[in-house]
Amino acid sequence: MTLTPDKPKAKARKLSMKERYSALTRDLDWDPSYVPADEMFPYTTFEGIKIHDWSKWEDPFRLTVDAYTKYQAEKDRRLYAVLDGFAQSQGHLSLTDASYLNAMKLFLQGVSPLEYQAHRNFAYLSRHLNGPGPRFASLCQSLDEIRHAQTEIHTLSNYNKYYSGFHSYLHMHDRVWYLSVPKSFFDDALSAGPFEFLIAIGFSFEYLLTNLLFVPFMSGASFNGDLPTMTFGFSAQSDESRHMTLGLEAIKFLLEQDPDNVPIVQHWIDKWFWRGYRVTALVAQMLDYMLPRKVMSWKEAFELYFEQQMLGGLFQDLAYYGIKPPRDVGKAIQEKEHLSHQAYWILYQFSHAAAFTTSVPSDETLDWLEEQYPDTFPTYRALWDKEKKNVANGGRHFVRGLPQLCQVCQIPMGFTEADSPFTICQRSVVFEGERYNFCSDGCQNIFEHEPVKFRQAWLPVHQIYQGNCGGADLGDVMQWYGMQPGDGGEYLGSPDHQNWLRWHAQADHSELGED
Amino acid sequence: MTVQFELRTQVIEPQRKTFQHLVDRYGDRPASRYEEGTIDLQATANYHFRPLWGPELDIYSPDYSLLKLADPYSYVDPRGFYYAPYVTSRADLHESFAATLGYLEKRGLFDRLPEAWRALFAEVVLPVRHYEAAAQMVSSHAARFGWGTTITQCAAYAAFDRIGNAQLLSRAGISFGGGTADSLADAKVRWLEDDALQPLRRLTEETLVERDWGLGMVRLDVTDQVLYQLLYTHLDDAAITGGAGSYSLVSQHLSGWFADQRRWFDALYKAWVADPEHGADNLATLRRTVADALAAADTALRPLAAKADELVGAGCAAALDQAVAATRTHFADLGITTEES
Ligand SMILES: [Fe+2]
Ligand SMILES: [Fe+2]
Ligand SMILES: [Zn+2]
């Protein structure tokens, strides 16, 4: 420390933000010379995608590790403070109704495990993509996704202490019939190559459909007094906007690299739109039926977030690359006034085998639905009027048999023809002597592209018939699913409902007592 | 407001203390956030499809490594890191590094480094940022292919740590280069071309292509142990006696990080060796892998140590002998004995 500083050298040009970011991220990369490149990156050729220049990847955001950890630590500090406060003050009692939590049960069982899967596979991309730019972006997303999985679990953990249906969400995700819908979706993405995963999850899930898959749960929370979930949603927002820009950059990058990539990407868009859209059936019924206080109808959400924003915006831009809107988008539009009603009707009839409860919609809800769906709901309302009579006569409707499932999306085959909304749609294909069933042309198309992949699907109903699910009768299967009494079936009179009434009655009495 | 107040003071008995899988594992007690956010998160059954990129194994499988645990959750991270405490701890690390860097810049301390130490930093230490970047990739591979969330979570955070270390060195390099990327550019050429660094680069590339995530991590860790002792412990001491205090101020952040890295990794070695079902096989695999990796690290780091000695004459060759011996002893203490080659 005895030396004096050198005379300041000729003023060197300082780094711009972009150069600095590049120096801290992609400049860390080098071309290996002691091992062959295809051994270094073994997974990026088999899909047929051609990348000529990885350096053309435009960084979708510029966050270095120091900024990332600082920003995220601050967000988590605030989020966990809200969770702790809510738990200490018995905040769950200020929800609109205990039945609201059915939406959150579905979320924890069906969505949180997907966040975890995204975490693992973005880690795969952060190793196995050749370009250092997308590797670093994927690394950040991998971390974000374990954050989402964990903060969701921690957010909903408090409800698990007081309400049914949450307790075995992981076990159920890998076993229960309706959860096989989101699980097979993500397993499909993880078992695809890295480029397909980028389009399936990075683009399709995180950009194209995120406002239909994720946002409705968060809005539902804010409308129904669920402060923790709402806070989680807000604190995930800045992560999600990074994910959206990553997805958009990914698709542009692939399309710009080589014209031969265009048809491959187009097929993935077609496939993953339909895959994702089928998963949104669960969201559609949640929005229209499960929320005691409604946010917007499925139809409205679909028109705003998909038709206007995506078809009217995004796909206009993608047309420049020769990309067309997803193949089966017309069918999705045709059935937007039916999807939620059909999906809820299926879940209503099978909820004795589910870890959430259902009930005949209240008159208020029925009126609201009729306002939202003036053209189609009268028909569905007739169904509910009939069911109300069944209930009054002590004959609430549950289907005792097992439904046939679509080989691709795994939803029971209860959807109707898109252009003839009261005829059940059934498609089938024979492949190597075996017949496979589909709920729609969209699902059939997906199968026909990859029959060898989709014949492997773990179909819950087949598995029950094959004796792989604990036994032959419903009780055995429910036990194997990890169901506990009160998890499923009818909401009215369920343990959650009874507790809710009791807790509120106690509160009211104490209030009276004080006056 | 009265109703609100009453609701809040009312005693409501919870129906359960935590999720069922934690009750099954730990008994009927409340679980920590680490446990709720970690244990059993990875699917272990009923995968729908075999990977198109490798149909031999399932999406997740214990067979992506020779190193196995009968129950992956017999291992837990001794630091209890889930995302929130992890990023909080790293925000602190980078903040304290930024404070150091601010101090070094304010006092012009990089410029005051003795010439020999300037050369050492530019030619030997800065190029190691590329090694750190590769360490991210090796760790990310483990984060994807590992079996069980307690392990993969540690690997995922380690991956982020390594790119963080690379950035920490790079930021020091930018400061050192007077706010430019010149010294980084120079260091990259050295990483690619200098004879003294080629054996380390070769070893790094060979570690990167190891498909077995467990063996990849062990090889990396063995090299880490030797390299960190040499660069951030031995040279740290030498810097202080050599009037290069600013080198020591930088290197303390890396040696501090490495102590944290040891905590989860050493616990994992113990779990591998102690496993009731796979312990003996793991031990055999570890002994073989550690012995190989230690010999490889010794060879790879020889020219780097010689170069450091050429520049600052700090007894690095002898320090390398010592670091190799200390690493061997460290493994022996974990029950993983290796023959001296
Ligand atoms: Fe997420
Ligand atoms: Fe996301
Ligand atoms: Zn289908």
Domain edges within chain B: 82-333
CA distance A462 to B39: 29
Average pLDDT for A46-66: 95
Whole-Å CA distances, B79 to A50, A209, A340, B217, B267: 43, 37, 46, 19, 10
pLDDT band per the 50, 70, 90 thresholds, residue A14: confident
Q: Residues A429-442: pLDDT tens digits?
A: 999 999 999 999 99
User: What is the model's pLDDT at position A4?
Assistant: 45
* Closest residue in B to A16 (Cα–Cα): B180
Q: Given this structure, which CATH class describes domain B82-333?
A: mainly alpha
Whole-Å CA distances, A30 to A43, A130, A256, B185, B191: 18, 10, 23, 12, 9
User: What is the model's pLDDT at position B10?
Assistant: 63
**Mutate: best of B1, B4, B6, B109, partner A, most A CBs <10 A:** B6
User: What is the model's pLDDT at position A514?
Assistant: 38
Residue given tokens 């990849």 in the structure block: B216
Phi–psi pair at B136, nearest 5 degrees: -60, -45
How many Cβ atoms sit within 10 Å of the Cβ of residue B255?
15
DSSP string of B88-137, one letter each residue: HHHHHHHHHHHHHHHHHHHTTTTTTS-HHHHHHIIIIITTHHHHHHHHHH
User: What is the model's pLDDT at position A97?
Assistant: 97
C-beta atoms of A456 and B83 within 8 A: no
User: What is the model's pLDDT at position A507?
Assistant: 67
ipTM of the complex: 0.96
Whole-Å CA distances, A430 to A417, A422, A447: 21, 26, 11
State in Å: Cα A27 to ligand 2 middle. Answer: 26
Which stretch of A19-28, A208-217, A489-498 has the lowest confidence by average pLDDT?
A208-217
Torsion of CA A314, A317, A321, A327, to 10 degrees: 40
User: What is the model's pLDDT at position A397?
Assistant: 86
| Residues with pLDDT less than 50, chain B | 1-5, 341
Whether the pLDDT of residue A6 is over 60: the answer is no
**What 8-state DSSP symbol labels residue A35?**
S
Mean pLDDT of chain A: 93
Q: Which of residues 254-293 of B touch A (CB under 8 A)?
A: none
DSSP 3-state of B277: coil
CA distance A200 to A279: 13
User: What is the model's pLDDT at position B2?
Assistant: 38
Nearest to residue B229, comparing CAs of B203, B208, B255, B249?
B255
Average pLDDT for A269-284: 96
* Closest residue in A to B241 (Cα–Cα): A1
Q: Residues A111-168: pLDDT tens digits?
A: 999 999 999 999 999 999 999 999 999 999 999 999 999 999 999 999 999 999 999 9
Delineate the domains of chain A, giving CATH numbers in brackets: 54-336 (1.10.620.20)
User: What is the model's pLDDT at position A8?
Assistant: 47
CA distance B39 to A38: 35
Q: Residue B314 class from Cβ within 10 Å (0-12 exposed, 13-18 middle, 19+ buried)? A: buried
Whether the pLDDT of residue A10 is over 60: the answer is no
CA distance A513 to A510: 5
**Residue A421 token pair:** 């909304």
Torsion of CA A245, A248, A251, A257, to 10 degrees: -70
Residue given tokens 């499923």 in the structure block: A488
User: What is the model's pLDDT at position A508?
Assistant: 58
Query: What's the gap in Å between the CA of B270 and the closest CA on chain A?
Result: 25
CA distance A122 to B287: 32
User: What is the model's pLDDT at position A58?
Assistant: 92
Nearest to residue B144, comparing CAs of B132, B131, B158, B124?
B158
Q: Residues A457-509: pLDDT tens digits?
A: 999 999 999 999 999 889 999 999 999 999 999 999 999 999 999 999 876 55
State in Å: Cα A378 to ligand 3 middle. Answer: 26
pTM of the model: 0.96
Selecting from B144, B174, B205 the residue whose C-beta is nearest the C-beta of A123 gives B144
CA distance B222 to B219: 5
User: What is the model's pLDDT at position A512?
Assistant: 42
Is the Cβ–Cβ distance between A347 and A285 less than 8 Å? yes
Angle ∠(B16,B18,B23) on CA atoms, nearest 5: 95
User: What is the model's pLDDT at position B59?
Assistant: 98
